[in-house]
Amino acid sequence: MFNDTSSPLALLASRRSGKPRDLVAPAPDRAQLIAMIRLAGRTPDHGKLAPWRFVIVPDDRRDALAALLVDAYRAERPEAKRAELDAMEQFARQAPALVVALFSPRTDSHIPMWEQELSAGAACMNLLHAVHAHGFAGGWLTGWPAFSDRVRDAFGGAPERIAGFMFIGTPGRPLDERPRPDEAKLWSEWNPSPEA
Whether 28 maps to a domain, the answer reads yes
Q: pLDDT grade, residue 123 (50/70/90)?
A: very high
Whether 184 maps to a domain, the answer reads no
Whether 4 maps to a domain, the answer reads no
Q: Write out pLDDT tens, residues 151-179.
A: 999 999 999 999 999 999 999 999 988 88
Query: pLDDT value at position 36?
Result: 98
Q: What is the mean pLDDT of residues 108-130?
A: 98
Q: What is the CATH number of the domain that holds 31?
A: 3.40.109.10
CB 103 within 8 A of CB 113: no
Query: pLDDT value at position 133?
Result: 94
Whether 159 maps to a domain, the answer reads yes
Q: Write out pLDDT tens, residues 1-58.
A: 455 556 888 888 889 999 999 999 999 999 999 999 999 999 999 999 999 999 999 9
Using CA atoms, how far residue 107 sits from 62, 132, 135, in Å, is: 32, 33, 37
Query: pLDDT value at position 5?
Result: 58
Q: Which residue has the higher pLDDT, 13 or 62?
A: 62
Give the chain's domain count.
1
Q: Enter the pTM of the model.
A: 0.92
Task: Count the Cβ atoms, other than its own, within 10 Å of residue 68.
Answer: 20
Q: Write out pLDDT tens, residues 127-144.
A: 999 999 999 999 999 999
Q: Which residues contact 117 (CB under 8 A, 6 or more apart)?
A: 51, 103, 105
**3-class DSSP state of 165:** strand
Whether 137 maps to a domain, the answer reads yes
Whether 185 maps to a domain, the answer reads no
In terms of residue numbers, what domain contains 133? 18-60+95-173
Whether 188 maps to a domain, the answer reads no
